[in-house]
Structure 1
Amino acid sequence: MSIGLIGKKLGMTQVYTEDGNAIAVTVIEVAKNQVIQVKTVENDGYSAVQLGFNDKKESRVTKPMLGHFKKNSASAKYVLREFRTAEGEEIPATGTELGAEKFEVGAYVDVIGTTKGRGFTGAMKRWNFSGQPASHGHMMHRRTGSIGCRLTPGRVWKNQKMPGHYGSERATTQNLKVIQSRPEDGVILVSGAVAGFNGAYVIVRHSVKQKKAKAAK
């Protein structure tokens, strides 16, 4: 798998095409991704590249982690992520900085993030239930309704859709097109929305399903 980048979701806006059509885009900051460590089959049992993103004060890093950063000629970072590398793939040296130039305009990417946490919610919001009748005299407008039965085995089945914690889950938005790539600003603009709040960390990687579709053709 090709090396991706760690980014920060800055928010959404819109851009106009040459035809005058407006496209909703998400702005993702990807500047100064630094190669922290290169893992090899001989030393680690698998081939991967560890990237770091968002500079951090050395005073706020534990001594073992600070030693890890300095050993690989890198500055302290808030976020570390690994990307598996394929056999024969060109691997950058430790300390190398990667940015928006890695993704060309027109390329398709997958963006992995964490959805917004919404706390404890009812079944209608959590599972998109249509709800009970809202007419006069009815007493179960937004309640779940029956969850069991009196027949054998006469119990509530597992995985029943009920109220509970909603959000704060890992989510991958696939096949988003790179509308603009701005290395000078350190950002890329991808079509559509991605999971997470403004300021949340995300992972941007080359699309997996687009590659399979092209291979099938």
Structure 2
Amino acid sequence: MDRFNNGPDLPVLGSSKKAAFERREPMLPHRTGALVIKKGMTAMYDPVTAKRTPCTVLQLDRCQVISHKRREIHGYWAVQVGCGTKEARNVTRPERGHYAAQGVPLKRHLAEFRVKNADGLPEVGSVITADLFQEGQYIDARGITRGMGFAGGMKRWGWGGQPASHGTSLTHRAMGSAGASQGSGSRVHPGKHMPGRMGGEGHTVQCLKVLKVDKENGIVVVNGAVPGPKKSIVKIQDAIKKPWPEVGLTIGVSTMGSTSEALEARV
């Protein structure tokens, strides 16, 4: 018997990286997502049901596949997506080298989208359009929440406040005890809810329904609110808690190839 308990016929150890990847694999989306700009909120009115549905307008801005992350090299499958544009003088030399190696134009924002396997890796240089998402499907939106600055405990954590009478003086909105003395180690435990900087954190809103898609203008309208202020960058991808949309992996991805391939074709 092998003293290290490893071999080709033994099961995968539950605490290994391979086992963790296999556990998470069924929850990974089959296709990439998109980087969008939050334009603001509006509402859609249905004259049949007489209901007003609040929604958020998202717009794609030159969203393009920049590179891939492969499991045999990086340990996982992912698509690197960029959007917007940026002048070369405002981009560092290592970043310019990364774009030049892939043969794609410079982008202002970059993000990665995990996918299940190699089938979800579009060709480098492909342009992602708004019809990647279909009306009626559900998506997950990830963004950076709006910064509130320094906030008190009642606003930041929803405290109810101290009594308004019965001897309470000038501490109606202030916090009380921060912890016990000797019983808890005579210290304030890490993670204690206190006043401090509020907002500016990553947040995910799951299962937002796509209400309308405009491919020509790159518009995706989703039901409800999306984290972040106006003009902020939001990552949207197929919802992991809903059935995967039954569409082809090439829908919404225009295979245009990289810039270097286009130059070689002209020659």
CA RMSD of aligned residues (A): 2.1
Identify which range, 53-62 or 144-153, moves more after superposition: 144-153
> 1:33-68, CA deviations, whole angstroms, 9 ceiling, x for partnerless residues?
111112334444433221111111122112222222
Distance 1:146 1:46 in 2: 46
Between stretches 133-142 and 25-34, larger displacement belongs to 133-142
Per-residue deviation, 1:83: 1.7
1:152 corresponds to which residue? 183
**Structure 1 counterpart of 2:206, from 149, 167, 174:** 174
Deviations 1:52-102 (A, max 9, x none): 111111221122222221332211001111122222524321111002110
Kept in 2: contact 1:31–1:98 (CA 8 A) = no
Kept in 2, the 8 Å contact 1:180–1:189? The answer is yes
Question: Hey, what does 2:151 align to over in structure 1?
Answer: 121
Deviation at 1:115, TM superposition (A): 0.9
CA–CA separation in structure 1 for the residues paired with 2:73 and 2:168? 68
User: Of 197, 202, 216, which residue of structure 1 is paired with 2:234?
Assistant: 202
Shift in Å, 1:169: 0.8
Distance 1:56 1:134, change over 3 A: same
Instruction: Give matches, 1:67-216, under 5 Å.
Output: 67-87=97-117, 89-135=119-165, 138-139=168-169, 140-149=171-180, 152-153=183-184, 155-158=186-189, 159-211=191-243
Q: Which amino acid aligns with 1:199?
A: K
1:31 touches 1:100 (CA, 8 Å); kept in 2? no
List runs of 5+ in structure 2 lacking aligned partners: 1-28, 245-267
The range that moved more, 59-68 or 195-204, is: 59-68
| Alignment gaps of 5+ in structure 1 | 213-217
Counterpart code for 2:128: L
**More strand per residue:** 1
Structure 1 distance, partners of 2:185, 2:92, is 55
**SS of 1:77's equivalent?**
coil
Partner of 1:49, secondary structure, is strand
Aligned to 1:13: 42
Instruction: Find the structure with the greater CA-based Rg.
Output: 2
TM-score when normalising by structure 1: 0.88
Tell me the CA shift for residue 113 of structure 1.
0.5
How far off is 1:137 after superposition?
6.5
> For structure 1, which segment, 95-104 or 160-169, has the greater mean C-alpha deviation from structure 2 after superposition?
160-169
Partner of 2:262: none
- For residue 97 of structure 2, give the secondary structure of its aligned residue in structure 1: helix
C-alpha change, 1:141 and 1:41, in structure 2 (3 Å) is closer
Moved more, 29-38 or 196-205: 29-38
> Equivalent residue of 2:108, what SS?
strand
Counterpart-to-counterpart distance in 2, 1:164 and 1:130: 17
Report the count of equivalent residues: 212
C-alpha change, 1:144 and 1:94, in structure 2 (3 Å) is same
Secondary structure of residue in 1 paired with 2:236? strand
